[in-house]
Structure 1
């Protein structure tokens, strides 16, 4: 039996667009390279708005998993920590609620602009890989009547 294709949604924050646009370009290219189909790219104003978009995409039948892309640059206060911590918790909760993977490809908190630029490829490609691997592994676990399943 042929394996079903993996369909992803990508949510990308427009804040720090010089970084996140590069992340989106890398993520799209890597998903294509890995044979996944990106069904929708949902652009949101900032990282804080990512969870609502993730929830909408997870509710779609044509999305197996979601990749989040954003960049939270360190400022003069701890606002970056607040945003990044809440984001991580909320998207993790949504993944559990919808039983679909959500990969966290968000640079920060604590990153400078230069550090963010250095991490564009690493964070975007790893997030895509994570989402794809989790979709595959969840499918493997769901297989019934096929003996022992090693999920790796």
Structure 2
């Protein structure tokens, strides 16, 4: 996501003042947002930023459905159900996975990201991740403030990537339909 988002961000920055490059995509699409309930003070920064960015790009508020799950580990199953419903053009998962000392956060983050990729490939619905796994996270004021701000940035990036992915899939579907005709 980061590499694509960087390119998307630079192209959007110059054109936001005029018109959203994804206005028609945003207006007609529906997105499901799944948030883990751990560290909501940080995770909801991404959620709120992505909702604001989708709105700024033209997506009606009613086209964004919000879901909460106990933790990051539960995001892929709900993403699968939402994708299979046919009601969403994309799914976004948001979580902060930290090393809690009981088990390695690498296991959880790997399972979540692998699960999200599997859902995407199995359902043909873009599934994007704002599931971040900092190597060192400590619940003190400096880290909390840093990660709150970082999650705002990641929320904007994932929203832009979401619209770009939907637009690209629509373009491919159009090209395939032309070739079939």
* TM class by smaller structure: 0.7 to 0.9
User: For residue 39 of structure 2, what is the aligned residue in structure 1?
Assistant: 16
* TM-score under structure 1 length normalisation: 0.85
Q: What CA deviation, in whole Å up to 9, does each residue of 1:97-150 have, x standing for no partner?
A: 00010111111142415153241112211111112111110000011327xxxx
SS in 1 for 2:133: strand
- Asked which structure has the greater CA Rg, the reply is 2
SS in 1 for 2:115: helix
Answering whether residue 178 of structure 2 is matched by residue 145 of structure 1, we say yes
Structure 2 residue runs of 5 or longer lacking an equivalent are: 1-22
Aligned partners of 2:49 and 2:153 also within 8 Å: no
Instruction: For 1:14-93, list aligned pairs within 5 A.
Output: 14-37=37-60, 38-76=63-101, 79-93=104-118
Which of the two has greater strand per residue?
1
SS in 1 for 2:178: coil
Structure 1 residue runs of 5 or longer lacking an equivalent are: 147-152
Aligned length: 145
User: For residue 150 of structure 1, what is the aligned residue in structure 2?
Assistant: none
* TM-score under structure 2 length normalisation: 0.73
Give, in whole Å, the separation in 2 of the partners of 1:34 and 1:112: 32
User: For residue 166 of structure 2, what is the aligned residue in structure 1?
Assistant: 135
Q: What CA deviation, in whole Å up to 9, does each residue of 1:30-74 have, x standing for no partner?
A: 111112344311110110110111011101222000111111123
In structure 2, do the counterparts of structure 1 residues 135 and 111 end up closer, same or farther at CA, with 3 Å as the change threshold? farther
CA drift of 1:78 comes to 5.1
SS in 2 for 1:41: strand
Give, in whole Å, the separation in 2 of the partners of 1:78 and 1:88: 17
Answering whether residue 127 of structure 2 is matched by residue 102 of structure 1, we say yes
Which of the two has greater helix per residue?
2
- Displaced runs of 4 or more, over 4 A: none
User: For residue 16 of structure 2, what is the aligned residue in structure 1?
Assistant: none
